[in-house]
């Protein structure tokens, strides 16, 4: 009887440990992006880059870069372009931001992304914070 | 009547031979080689042949390559180098034209690195 009780206690401890581990693991997962208000873009915290979409800028394309992250981007207070946030080729910070995006894509490091609303209501990259 | 059928057939044939085709590199491809010329233009070679290549990009030596220009291809070059270095999977599309090298390599339109 005492043996069974100990077994149940051990099982309970194991289940509790598993639940705690799952809670910790889920808290480490990427969170969804949040809105800064309608037309004001928003923020994605602790996300990683899933897709880097690069246009060449030759005839028929505009040279923009588009990105997707592992958190849901639909809450952002702006429109996604085909499911992507845009880094416009004409942005004054294009080179530095693109270099940072290549770095986080290469290292799979988490970063914070601030998005604002650009032309046509589309979400555009304002800046990144690398961790 | 026969003449009308001939005209319709001729018009259809004209459209069929001039229909737009552009290369597609599957989304699970890898960059295996990057060529950069002294003038800044270059080519990205994938580990898979291009699907539906344009009529101009049929050279057998470049059936798995897309070209980028020195002026507008810097971002594409950076992506290709990063993908080559990390082994990341990529997908890409051609423009359907061969303006960078002339009539043997199709031009890079856009690509995705995952």
A75 touches chain B (CB under 8 A): no
What are A49's strand-pairing partners?
A69
User: B61 and B55 in contact (C-beta within 8 Å)?
Assistant: no
When pLDDT is averaged across residues B73-95 and rounded to a whole number, the result is 94
- pLDDT of res. B3: 52
Q: What is the ipTM metric for this complex?
A: 0.73
Q: Where would I find the beta strands (DSSP E) of A8-108? A: 34-35, 42-47, 49-55, 65-69, 85-87
pLDDT tens string B4-21: 544 444 444 444 444 457
- Other beta carbons within 10 Å of A119: 9
- Whether A33 has a pLDDT exceeding 90, the answer reads yes
Q: Does residue A67 surpass a pLDDT of 70?
A: yes
Of all residues in chain B, the one with the smallest CA distance to A105 is B114
Smallest Cα distance from B91 to chain A, Å = 9
Question: Which of residues A6 and B76 earns the better pLDDT score?
Answer: B76
Give residues with Cβ within 8 angstroms of A63, minimum separation 6. A55, A56, A57, A89, B72, B75
pLDDT in tens, B33-53: 999 999 999 999 999 989 888
The answer to whether the Cβ–Cβ distance between A54 and B75 falls below 8 Å is yes
Q: Does A121 touch chain B (CB under 8 A)?
A: no
* A62 interfaces chain B, CB cutoff of 8 Å: no
Say if residue A25's pLDDT is above 70. no
**Which tokens hold the place of A82?**
């085909």
Strands B108-113 and A49-55: antiparallel
Residues B46, A70: contact at Cβ < 8 Å?
A: no
Between B75, B82, B111, which is nearest A63 by CB?
B75
Q: What is the pLDDT of residues A34-51, one digit of tens each?
A: 999 999 999 999 999 999
């Amino acid at each position: 009887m005492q043996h069974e009780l100990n077994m149940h206690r051990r099982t309970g401890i194991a289940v509790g440990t598993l639940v705690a581990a799952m809670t910790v693991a889920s808290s480490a997962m990427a969170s969804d992006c949040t809105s800064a208000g309608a037309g004001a873009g928003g923020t994605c915290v602790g996300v990683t880059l899933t897709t880097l979409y690069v246009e060449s800028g030759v005839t028929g394309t505009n040279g923009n870069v588009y990105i997707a992250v592992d958190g849901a981007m639909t809450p952002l207070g702006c429109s996604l372009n085909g499911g992507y946030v845009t880094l416009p080729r004409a942005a004054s910070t294009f080179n530095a931001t693109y270099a940072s995006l290549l770095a986080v894509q290469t290292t799979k490091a988490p970063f914070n992304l601030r998005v604002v609303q650009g032309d046509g209501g589309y979400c555009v990259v304002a800046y990144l914070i690398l961790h | 009547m026969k003449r009308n059928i001939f005209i319709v057939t001729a018009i259809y044939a004209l459209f069929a031979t001039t229909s737009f085709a552009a290369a597609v590199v599957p989304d699970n491809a890898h960059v295996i080689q990057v060529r950069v010329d002294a003038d800044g233009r270059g080519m990205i070679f994938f580990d898979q042949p291009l699907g539906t290549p344009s009529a101009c990009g049929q050279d057998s030596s470049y059936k798995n390559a897309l070209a980028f220009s020195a002026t507008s291809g810097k971002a594409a070059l950076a992506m290709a180098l990063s993908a080559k270095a990390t082994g990341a999977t990529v997908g890409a599309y051609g423009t359907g034209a061969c303006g960078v090298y002339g009539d043997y390599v199709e031009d890079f339109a856009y690509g995705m690195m995952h």
